[in-house]
């Protein structure tokens, strides 16, 4: 496979990438509907990580705060992020978790990125 070097134009085009989240809810008004989202930008992700603290796997308040913040930035569907606080809490959690999951690197990608490769130093 031929390697392609990333360009500045790729960043601009990548910022336009969207995906949809199909909602699952006991509320028939929301169930099965979709919301368009995008991944968080680096600065947005860092701000959320520095602002919201989760104290453990059972920290519902922290998880909800993180989902709310991710949804504020990552929802693309017009008008939805403006009314975020009016949505059912489970919908906010679903959307926020989908945005965060799409914004987090996979562990193996982090490991591959951190391995210095011979001849690839920029210094």
What is the spatial distance between Cα 56 and Cα 74, in angstroms, rounded to a whole number?
Answer: 24
What phi, psi does 35 have (nearest 5°)?
-130, 135
pLDDT at 106: 53
Residue 18 placed within a domain? no
pTM comes to 0.76
Tokens of 44: 């947005």
Q: Which domain holds residue 89?
A: 29-104
Q: For the chain, what is the domain count?
A: 1
pLDDT at 107: 56
pLDDT at 49: 93
Residue 69 placed within a domain? yes
Residue 114 placed within a domain? no
Residue 24 placed within a domain? no
Residue 67 placed within a domain? yes
pLDDT at 35: 97
Instruction: Give the side-chain half-sphere CA count within 13 A for 116.
Output: 5
pLDDT at 102: 77
pLDDT at 114: 46
Residue 110 placed within a domain? no
Below-50 pLDDT ranges, the chain: 109-110, 112-123
């Amino acid at each position: 496979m031929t390697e392609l070097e990333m360009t500045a134009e790729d960043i601009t085009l990548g910022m336009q990438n969207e995906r949809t989240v199909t909602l699952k809810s006991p509320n028939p008004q929301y169930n099965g509907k979709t919301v368009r989202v995008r991944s968080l930008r680096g600065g947005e992700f860092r701000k959320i990580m520095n602002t919201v603290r989760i104290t453990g796997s059972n920290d519902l308040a922290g998880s909800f705060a993180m989902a709310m913040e991710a949804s504020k930035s990552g929802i693309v569907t017009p008008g939805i992020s403006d009314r975020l606080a009016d949505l059912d809490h489970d919908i906010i959690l679903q959307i926020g978790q989908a945005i965060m999951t799409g914004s987090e690197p996979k562990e193996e990608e982090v490991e591959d990125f951190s391995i210095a490769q011979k001849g690839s130093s920029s210094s």
